[in-house]
Amino acid sequence: MPARVLPFPDRFNAAEFFVDRAVTEHGWGQRTAFRYQGRSITYQETAEMVARAAGALLASGVRAEQRVLLALPDSPDFVTAFFGAIKAGVVPVPVNTFLDGRDLRYYLDDSGAAALIVHRDLVDRVKSALPSLTIVAGEGGDWELRLATASPLTGAASTHPDDMAFWQYTSGSTGAPKGAVHLHRDMVYAADVYAIPTQRLTPEDRIFSASKMFFAYGLGNSLFCPLRAGASALLAPERPTPEMCLRTIESERPTIFYAVPTLYAAILNHPGNYDTSSLRLAVSAGEALPAEIFRRFQDRFGVEIIDGIGSTEMAHVFISNRPGECRPGSSGRLVDGYDARIVDEAGCDVADGEIGNLLISGGSAAAFYWRKAAQTRSTMLGEWLRTGDKYRRDADGYYWYCGRSDDMMKSSGQWVSPAEVEGALLEHPAILECAVAAVAGDDGVARPRAFIVLRDAATQPSQEAFREFLRARIAHFKVPHTFEVVTELPKTATGKIQRFKLREQGPR
């Protein structure tokens, strides 16, 4: 299916489209746009806060096309800072709130950001990297004061649909984060071709996404897709544990729940009875959903999980199952508005049933990677994006995930570089060699596992000792799920570790 061409006027601002028009054209001003900690926030209130945020950013000295990093949990502050920046012509760059000062320094330096908006609960963790213009959100911070005293920006910046709107960072085979540059048109395209027709979002839907908005998946789930449909979204800053998710579904009564396979597996293993009858649909992305989890979830909760695949570069989901048409274990069929190819190493299309490299094309694709010309050329092949995933397509048009083209892993939906984790592990005095790979457990979900060769087999630290050692050095989500001591690692004749053999190890 060729990429759909949506008409855009020469003057187009995404914040004006998603926020202001909801009030002025659609008449949704008094509808609930967001729920946050028991409070309802209307579309009208959202528009007013976004206008104040735009005014506050300009008053702080940030100018059009400059970048502002957002280290914020899912909250009204994230919404207003994100769309306020876009309304002012500034480029918001959401970053992972689980990272430390070293990671934040990389993002600041790489993006050349003029400012940082950070939640007060994160300040101590990243204080070594705070720039001169740091705005602190949350209780006791100055963001609330800036909003209260700012003059609202009454008209959006005069931007073009092909101007930069926002960035999101992604990791590639080297593990070095890359800033995927998205344009004002991209969110509209992603919502119009996926969320509205595939999920059948309506103004009556209430959204709850366990995946956070600093991810592309969460940003679409909680922000631009529900706003496009006139629906409401629950903003939850807490870590999404099974207990938290189930109690939130019971109390807030969402109609659609979004998560990643590892969380669905954890929810299925969580005891207790909860009222989840409000759900009409569950959605999964971020990593392949095992068929067994699909079946167990449907048996327990009476709801399908529609699995799909998306990427930061494409802004959201481009292949997906459909409600009532799910094929468990598959990523579903191509979303109308995207095109796909499965090719061999020479770039030639393979036949149905054969495994190859997945290429995708569509109108929500990022324009380029910021200051990464080589990676842009190797990944963005004209109209085609190389996803880095191995897939096969069956005769009915369903796509089946077959693994990554490189050694990158996903942990709870977040990319993790094995080399980074291995480098941190090798700092441990007891470790001689190590390798990290994603290995499927009993439930079919692949989780990072560390394989360790000890210097002295008689001295073996505990699993928790290894975890504590890594937690002091890398972000918590990068810490392997288990640590297995082995006598040797599989290697090629030239000494390279063969991670694919480790991935075949299976449950322990």
**C-beta atoms surrounding 451 within 10 Å:** 24
**pLDDT class for 147, splitting at 50, 70, 90?**
very high
- Asked, for residue 431, whether it belongs to a domain, the answer is yes
**H helix intervals, 269-307:** 291-301
Helix/strand number for the chain, H first, E second: 18, 26
Residues with Cβ within 8 Å of 34's Cβ and at least 6 positions away in sequence, in order, are 40, 41, 46, 76, 79, 232, 233, 234, 235
> What pLDDT does residue 501 have?
86
Looking at residues 392-409, what average pLDDT do you find? 87
- Which residue among 159, 191, 213 closes a domain? 159
- Asked, for residue 125, whether it belongs to a domain, the answer is yes
- Asked, for residue 53, whether it belongs to a domain, the answer is yes
Identify any residues that bridge with 275 across adjacent strands, giving them in sequence order.
none
Tell which wins on pLDDT, 447 or 299: 299
Looking at residues 95-120, what average pLDDT do you find? 94
C-alpha distances (whole Å) from 430 to each of 26, 253, 413, 467, 476 are 63, 50, 30, 14, 21
- Asked, for residue 58, whether it belongs to a domain, the answer is yes
Residues with Cβ within 8 Å of 305's Cβ and at least 6 positions away in sequence, in order, are 264, 282, 283, 284, 289, 293, 294, 297, 298, 326
- In this predicted structure, the answer to whether residue 494 has a pLDDT above a threshold of 90 is no
Give the torsion sign (CA, 276, 282, 287, 288).
Answer: positive
- In this predicted structure, the answer to whether residue 405 has a pLDDT above a threshold of 80 is no
Chain centroid offset of residue 280 CA: 23
Q: Which two tokens stand for residue 196?
A: 């509205």
- Asked, for residue 99, whether it belongs to a domain, the answer is yes
- Which residue among 110, 133, 159 closes a domain? 159
pLDDT in tens, 20-55: 999 999 999 999 999 999 999 999 999 999 999 999
pLDDT in tens, 416-448: 778 788 888 988 999 888 889 988 888 888 889
> What pLDDT does residue 161 have?
98
**C-beta atoms surrounding 274 within 10 Å:** 17
- In this predicted structure, the answer to whether residue 210 has a pLDDT above a threshold of 50 is yes
> What pLDDT does residue 126 have?
92
- 166 sits in which H/E element: strand 164-171
Position 496, amino acid: K
> What pLDDT does residue 496 have?
65
Tell which wins on pLDDT, 291 or 116: 116
- In this predicted structure, the answer to whether residue 413 has a pLDDT above a threshold of 60 is yes
> What pLDDT does residue 492 have?
61
> What pLDDT does residue 158 have?
97
**pLDDT class for 175, splitting at 50, 70, 90?**
low
**pLDDT class for 402, splitting at 50, 70, 90?**
confident
- Asked, for residue 320, whether it belongs to a domain, the answer is no
In the sheet with 446-454, reading across from the earlier edge strand, the strands are 431-440, 446-454, 482-485
What CATH number should be reported for the domain holding residue 72?
A: 3.40.50.980
Residue 383: half-sphere exposure toward Cβ, Cα within 13 Å: 10
Give the C-alpha separation, 458 to 166, whole Å.
Answer: 53
* Structural domain boundaries enclosing 444: 417-503
Identify any residues that bridge with 349 across adjacent strands, giving them in sequence order.
343
Looking at residues 348-356, what average pLDDT do you find? 94
- In this predicted structure, the answer to whether residue 330 has a pLDDT above a threshold of 80 is yes
Contact call for residues 84 and 54 (beta carbons, < 8 A): yes
Give the torsion sign (CA, 82, 83, 84, 90).
Answer: positive
Beta-strand relationship, 398-404 and 332-334: antiparallel
Identify any residues that bridge with 136 across adjacent strands, giving them in sequence order.
118
What CATH number should be reported for the domain holding residue 472?
A: 3.30.300.30
Give 220-273 as a DSSP string.
IIIIIHHHHHT-EEEE--S---HHHHHHHHHHH--SEEEE-HHHHHHHHT--S-
pLDDT in tens, 253-262: 999 999 998 8
Return mean pLDDT, the chain: 92
> What pLDDT does residue 173 have?
42
- In this predicted structure, the answer to whether residue 117 has a pLDDT above a threshold of 70 is yes
How many domains, in total, are found in the chain? Answer: 2
Burial of 202 (0-12, 13-18, 19+ CB in 10 A): exposed
**pLDDT class for 176, splitting at 50, 70, 90?**
confident
**H helix intervals, 150-205:** 186-190, 196-198
Looking at residues 192-197, what average pLDDT do you find? 94
- Asked, for residue 465, whether it belongs to a domain, the answer is yes
**pLDDT class for 226, splitting at 50, 70, 90?**
very high
- Which residue among 159, 192, 214 closes a domain? 159
- In this predicted structure, the answer to whether residue 1 has a pLDDT above a threshold of 60 is no
> What pLDDT does residue 3 have?
56
Give 7-76 as a DSSP string.
---SS--HHIIIIIHHHHTT--TTSEEEEETTEEEEHHHHHHHHHHHHHHHHHTT--TT-EEEEE--SSH
Rounded to 10°, the helix 242-252/261-268 angle is: 80
**pLDDT class for 4, splitting at 50, 70, 90?**
low
pLDDT in tens, 364-388: 999 999 999 999 999 999 999 999 9
- Asked, for residue 325, whether it belongs to a domain, the answer is no
Model-level pTM? 0.86
**pLDDT class for 351, splitting at 50, 70, 90?**
very high
